[in-house]
A and B are shown apart, each in its own frame.
Chain A
Amino acid sequence: MPLGVEIPVKEVQRYMGYRGMVDIAPDIQAKISKAIDMLGAQSHPRIVTKEYPVRVRGNDITIYNDTEEIVLTSESLARNLKGCCGAILLAATIGPACDRLVRRAAVTSAADASIYQAAGAAAIEAFLDDQNAKLEKDYESQGLFLRPRFSPGYGDLKLDHQKDWFRLLDISKQIGVELTDSLLMVPTKSVTALIGIGIDKSKVGCSGCSGCNKHDTCAFSKEDK
């Protein structure tokens, strides 16, 4: 099953480290297109989502599952979820093909490896954006609005919560992603996230790069600093 969504060239270039308006040599452009084609064809995206009731008190966010309650403590996530009473937890991956393509490319060319790496990052984001848009539409038809997605390790939300996501969503079994001892996911082009559900559109400036406390130093920030 191919990726099913288009990988935006501009995003691949951004992940490759290009900034501003630059002329990209035709041979590099050709390599980028090839990487996009290969990833588009060989990826095997999967996603698992579950909706939970949540309650925000101060910086504590409680997720209510039928058998347990999980408390996340994060100022930035609490801000993101202000006014929400529910949340979608999700995990997604584009599958192992990207990691293999990167390893393959690395044998002969560091440039190719970095291009596949960037295309993979853009691919998982494109897949998630597409899924996100579908969820948004679903919820809007019920009069509900979704907040920007937020991941463990993002802002001040501890990466340790990866374990909660893996337990709640049964991620290994559902989409074939495993967690290493150091809380990294394999296949590497995988994402865990939470999306708040609110009854009104978010008024808080908590979306995208500007909502992140690493915004000033991040090399991949989308917005001007």
Chain B
Amino acid sequence: MNLRDRLGKEWLFCDGGTGSILQKMGLKGGELPETWNLTRPDDIKSLNRGYFEAGSNIVNTNTFGANRFKYDNVTEIVTAAVKICQQARKEAGREDDAYVAIDVGPTGKLLEPMGDLPFNEAVDIFAEIIKAGYEAGGDVVVIETMSDSYEAKAAVVAAKEVCDLPIIVTMVYDETGKLLTGGGVEGTVAMLEGLKVDAIGINCGFGPKQMLPIAERLVKCCSLPIVVNPNAGLPRTENGVTIYDVDPDDFASVMEQIAKLGVHVMGGCCGTTPDHICKMINTVKVLPFVEPTVKNDTYVTSFADCVKIGKKPVIIGERINPTGKKKLQQALRDNNIDYLLTEALKQEEAGAHILDVNVGLPEIDEPSMMEDVVLKIQSVTNLPLQIDTTNIEALERGMRIYNGKPMINSVNGKEENIKAVMPLVAKYGGVLVALPLDEGGIPETSDGRIAIAKRIYEEADKYGIPRKDIVIDGLAMTISSDPNSAIATLDTVRRVRDEFSGHSILGVSNISFGLPARELVNSHFLTMAMQNGLSCAIINPCNGPMMASYRSFNALMNLDPNLQEFITAFKDYVAGSTTVASAKSSASSSGAVLTLGEAIERGVVGRAAEAMKEALDSGRDSLEIIDAELIPSLDRVGKGFEKGTVFLPQLLMSADAAKAAFAVVKEAMADKPRNTKGQVIMATVKGDIHDIGKNIVKVMLENYGYDVIDLGKDVPPEVIVDCAIENNIRVVGLSALMTTTVASMEETIKLMREKKPNTKIVVGGAVMTPEYADQIGADAYAKDAMATVRYCDSVFEGLVR
């Protein structure tokens, strides 16, 4: 019988520990356990057989760490492991009711952006293991001991791409129910359910007692069969030996308690033996079995946050969308991702719960931009994202790289569109925004929209996308062209709630297109929509009246416990004002008397920008202001820093202030060609992920008039050299923090000398010294950001040849 047909229908049991048993058989520290599949197959067989004989239905192959970082013969190792396990099952006489599980453990690397392993490379690594296991005849894929939900996603995607076997995923949480990377139980479950795995659980970390409360949380939020595989207690060491204290009887008795919570698959992890498993099975198998129940909560998640779509409306920030936004369009064309990140952080601070991300511009490569932007926004904010595009390739790239369960904007009722979008949602998971329009256009009445919505729900059923993960758009369109439009939209929103118990969404501000005083109409329309059951409002959270409507609504509808959010937001409210006083404006007003130069010297960011704007408004030439005020004040701080009278933080505050002033100039001269001293590449070399120093140098160089191409961190030599050739770069700045990464700095310099000998290379970083720089063949050593600026000046002014 297929495992899929049994999961969640009857008690099933996994195996127990491997490592501790292999150590008893003589596995040495530092010896890779999977090599035994080739060198000591009989020992591995006896390990597997012990568990089949103990009664386990799901027995893992000895492939936990069998990845290409440790082995160059992964396929051979995995194939052997599957064959051994099959043989053990046969010898134990369990061929009828037990399964060989392709065991997949973590890679031992952290994924980008936190670590240095790209997501798609992780998928490749897992695919290699799973494919070998599948082809050798494995029955199920068990992805286990995952402490990072993102890595678990990579493994699941890999499994789905190479086979159609059932997939079981178990994660490691700590006592508080958090993953080591910060995610919680509910968010991880939502992501894995979206990825359509077959069972979800917990393993390792600690013993059954400590696992009880986490199992309880799983039972509450998970609609799929639940797996619980604890260690034999908390490990401790005596004279270098790891000991697990919970004996088979105690283990069985706590597992009985966990079984009664309503879990479905049970086994063990580190320190458990066939004895533990056998005792547990005998205790648990006689207990009544409770099938998993479907939970109706809708969650949109990131790696750390989990936003519930339900009674309380959710704010989706609309600012990262180039439609009608010139500055954002320019930023996308210039690949100025920092601008998008700033918009993301601003919206988060203003109170957004989810951020819409739309990077569609005809002249850019949208799929790769979407992938890049999703990754980068997720590296700075915990907020979940709404991937917003009509470009199917961009949609897939965004969904694939996304860490969590995103919102997808959108699908519509057109057959072709459903066929393109829904399979992606079925594969990667997501909460899908559905526009009730089709080949016949946008229905004018709510009747027409509700009919299409119904059809979209039915289509989702076919793809196995749960209805709770569909959010119907009420289609707000301007009342200036159709006076009935707000009524039709509000009606649609209300009927989605009443007739489908569904969720709804609106791009709220569309309602007032073409009108004056749009925020008045928008904020009132928002209140009306929420009153009609709106679940998600796509708005600009930085707009005062909109957020005032939102917060007032929550306060009035008992959706704001103790009115805390309302009071926090409006405690400094001045009656009659429509904007909310923010900490920022008061900070800048405190520096209101400072001149531009003073603001920069003291590092008052808001005032520096303001003073620059005033200077430009008074008709002064921007270059004159920069030369006469901005640069000299920056220089005074720089000189102080070089002399040791000014410390780094003050230098950086000034740099931030200068940067803000420059941004004002840039904006004012958006249409004119920019004047730069020259182009410089900055990169943190391959293997190094510490880029704070490099970022500081970048800011300083930009302030001093250089156009910096920032290649980021962990940059391979070829990329740096190719970029230098392509842009005919005169100076490259390299940074490395550790001795171990200086080697790749040297390699980069060597390659540059070979391919583009006329480029100067200046190096810096914690371990660098002038002697060291000389030794690896650099042209110059810069001890800090100012020194780099001085060096670049000397090159571009022709002092250095």
Contact = CB atoms under 8 A, between A and B. Distances in A.
A141 interface: no
B180 A64 contact: no
B145 interface: yes
A172 interface: yes
Contact of A178 (B27, B109, B341, B603): B109
A113 B114 contact: no
Contacts of B147: 172-173, 176
Contacts of B650: 25, 28
Interface string B598-621: 000011110000000000000000
A11 interface: no
B647 A16 contact: yes
B178 A44 contact: yes
A96 interface: yes
A75 interface: no
B648 interface: yes
Contacts of B647: 16-19, 22
A44 B182 contact: yes
B649 A28 contact: yes
Contacts of A102: 692
Contacts of B673: none
Q: How large is the interface on B (under 10, 10 to 19, 20 to 34, 35 or more residues)?
A: 35 or more
B689 A180 contact: yes
B602 A25 contact: yes
B204 A173 contact: yes
Contacts of B114: 96, 99, 186-187
A177 to B, nearest CB: 8
Contacts of B690: 184, 188
Contacts of A100: 379-380, 382
Interface string A83-105: 00000000000011101101110
A186 B689 contact: yes
Nearest to B651: A111
B751 interface: no
A117 interface: yes
A115 interface: yes
Interface string B617-646: 000000000000000000000000000100
Dominant SS among interface residues on chain A: mixed
B176 interface: yes
Nearest to A66: B241
Nearest to A168: B29
Interface in B185-207: 204
B738 A183 contact: yes
B739 A159 contact: yes
B110 A178 contact: yes
Nearest to A109: B656
B373 to A, nearest CB: 13
Contacts of A16: 647-649
B116 A96 contact: no
B603 to A, nearest CB: 7
Contacts of B379: 100, 103
Contacts of B801: none
A142 interface: no
A175 B148 CA distance: 12
A110 B689 contact: no
Contacts of B696: 110, 113-114
A52 B242 CA distance: 11
Contact of B182 (A46, A95, A114, A217): A95
A68 B28 contact: yes
A207 interface: no
B116 A181 contact: yes
Interface string B685-697: 0111110100110
Contact of A53 (B240, B604, B692): B240
A168 B178 CA distance: 24
Interface-centre pick from B27, B114, B179, B769 (highest chain A CB count, 10 A): B114
B430 interface: no
Contacts of B727: none
A176 B240 contact: no
Contact of B240 (A52, A95, A110, A113): A52
Contact of B648 (A17, A44, A176, A217): A17
A102 B379 CA distance: 10
A21 interface: no
Contacts of A96: 114, 181-182
B162 interface: no
Contacts of A159: 738-740
B724 interface: no
Contacts, number: 170
A186 B650 CA distance: 29
Contacts of A179: 108
Contacts of A167: 29-30
Nearest to A105: B380
A82 to B, nearest CB: 21
B182 A107 contact: no
B221 interface: no
B161 interface: no
Contacts of A60: none
Contact of A111 (B113, B381, B644, B656): B656
A182 B109 contact: no
Contact of B380 (A63, A66, A97, A104): A104
Interface in A2-18: 16-18
A51 interface: yes
Contacts of B453: none
A104 B739 CA distance: 27
B92 interface: no
Contacts of B689: 180, 184, 186, 188
A162 B447 CA distance: 66
Contact of A27 (B106, B382, B653): B653
A63 B239 CA distance: 11
Contact of B692 (A28, A95, A113): A113
Given A25-B602, A114-B648, A173-B147, A186 B653 contact: no
A179 B23 CA distance: 24
Nearest to A176: B180
B564 interface: no
Interface string A15-37: 01111001011011001000000
Given A159-B739, A167-B29, A104 B345 contact: yes
A182 B114 CA distance: 15
A110 B655 contact: yes
Interface in B166-187: 172, 174, 176, 178-182
A51 B237 contact: yes
B345 A115 contact: no
A160 to B, nearest CB: 8
A106 B114 CA distance: 15
A102 B686 CA distance: 20
A182 B176 contact: no
Contacts of A113: 692, 695-696
Nearest to B26: A67
Contacts of A59: none
A50 interface: yes
B115 interface: yes
A131 interface: no
Contact of A97 (B110, B182, B239): B182
A217 to B, nearest CB: 8
Contact of B29 (A65, A107, A117): A65
25 contacts: A1-B176, A16-B649, A22-B647, A27-B653, A31-B649, A53-B240, A64-B240, A66-B29, A67-B28, A96-B182, A100-B379, A106-B695, A107-B345, A108-B656, A110-B655, A114-B692, A114-B696, A178-B108, A181-B116, A181-B687, A182-B738, A182-B744, A183-B740, A184-B741, A186-B110
Interface of B: 23, 27-31, 106, 108-110, 113-116, 145, 147-148, 172, 174, 176, 178-182, 204, 237, 239-242, 338, 341-342, 345, 379-382, 602-605, 644, 647-650, 652-653, 655-656, 686-690, 692, 695-696, 699, 737-741, 744, 769
Top 7 nearest A-B pairs by Cβ distance? A176-B180, A182-B687, A68-B29, A111-B652, A67-B29, A17-B648, A107-B341
